[in-house]
Amino acid sequence: MPPELEDLSTELDQALEDQAGTGGTDGQDGGAAPADGAGSSAAQAKTDDEGLLGVVRDAAPSKKPEPAAASPADGAEAGDKPGEGAPKKEPAEDFSDVPFNKHPRFRQLLSERNGFKGDAEKYRQVDTFIRDNGMSAQEAADLLTVGAMAKTNPAKAWELARPWVENLLKAAGEVLAPELEQAVQEGRMTREAAYDLSRSRATVASMEAARSFEGQRREQQARDDHAKSITDAAQSWEDSRRERDPGFDAKLEPIHRELAWRHRNGDVPKDAAGVRAQLDDVYKTVNAQLAPQAAPAAPRAVPTRQATKPVTGGSVAGGNAKPAPRSMLEVVQQAG
């Protein structure tokens, strides 16, 4: 029960007790009241007390209990301001003073790079093994499929491997050729001798195939090395130019256009030296195209010569000066 209702209930009880006491005194002065009447008055007073108390309880608004203060164990202390008990957000770490090679993000990327490098190396080893042995990607995939199915479905694995095994037996000389089988049937050769001859033929054929394959592999390796030398020369030239020319990136696109135009017209270098020479020439061409056009020189100003006015009047030593002409006729006359 809320404290307010408890106080009100106490006051009502006290009032009822006082009223009952007053009634008892009156009964003594005016004569004793009947026992039944006194009991009825007390019961009626009790009923009124409970009814009034119930009305007050129903009418009084319920007071919500105040939340208990958080204990120090909950992270808040008495007297803290709102929000002070909440966990504080950790400030972001500042790595501005950390060397670049020790920055956590850089070290994370380096770790990821090393992981990818290991995977790439494993793939390169598998790819090199397949190419060095003259296998195609499909042949390698078929062999792996047969090997995997042999673990779970041998019947299917044998179905896939049977054609390959039959060809392998023929190549190894373990299957007699038709003419050798006929010789054995006619009695001209024993079966053991026929098999020996068949295996000898297979050995010679395999040696010739190995020799041919080795020659093809060397040619392919030479082509790969040549292509790599050209690529390395172009990359080395580009790196060197970028270090010396701050504006090289802006010239890269026109350089590519010029190279593509020359290659389409048959100007393709054959070796690394030719690549570097061509790139130097293209670089000069692009620089000339991007250089600002020189403005034409302004014509030299020719000083204007002021017309000399004839001197009139005066006298010339040794003769009489002619008067200044006043008309074209006088000019002609003086010239005559």
For residue 197, which of 179, 220, 223 has the smallest C-alpha distance? 179
What pairs with residue 319 in β-bridges? 316
CB 253 within 8 A of CB 289: no
For residue 192, which of 180, 202, 206, 209 has the smallest C-alpha distance? 180
* pLDDT (0 to 100) of residue 183: 92
pTM for the whole structure? 0.43
Give the type of residue at 119.
D
For residue 265, which of 250, 284, 280, 278 has the smallest C-alpha distance? 278
Residues 6+ apart with CB under 8 A from 83: none
CB 14 within 8 A of CB 7: no
Separation of first and last alpha carbons in the chain = 151
* CB burial of residue 262 (10 Å; 0-12, 13-18, 19+): middle
* pLDDT (0 to 100) of residue 30: 42
CB 269 within 8 A of CB 275: yes
CB 81 within 8 A of CB 33: no
Q: How far apart are CA 60 and CA 98, in angstroms?
A: 67
* pLDDT (0 to 100) of residue 29: 45
* pLDDT (0 to 100) of residue 162: 94
CB 70 within 8 A of CB 76: yes
Domain coordinates in residue numbering, the chain: 134-172, 231-289
* pLDDT (0 to 100) of residue 75: 44
* pLDDT (0 to 100) of residue 117: 78
Q: What backbone phi and psi angles, to 5 degrees, belong to 319?
A: -175, 175
* pLDDT (0 to 100) of residue 123: 86
CB 142 within 8 A of CB 160: yes
One digit per residue, pLDDT tens: the chain, 336 residues?
555 556 656 766 676 666 555 544 444 444 444 444 444 454 454 555 555 455 445 544 554 455 444 444 444 444 445 455 555 555 555 556 656 556 677 677 777 777 777 788 888 888 888 888 888 889 899 999 999 999 999 999 999 999 999 999 999 999 999 999 999 999 999 999 999 999 999 999 999 998 998 898 899 889 989 999 999 999 999 999 999 999 898 898 999 999 999 999 999 999 999 999 999 999 999 999 887 654 455 556 555 555 555 555 555 444 555 565 554 445 445 444
Query: Which pairs with CB-CB distance under 8 Å and at least 24 residues apart come from 279-283?
Result: 279/234, 279/237, 279/238, 279/255, 280/237, 282/255, 282/258, 283/241, 283/251, 283/255
What 8-state DSSP symbol labels residue 319?
B
For residue 105, which of 91, 93, 117 has the smallest C-alpha distance? 93
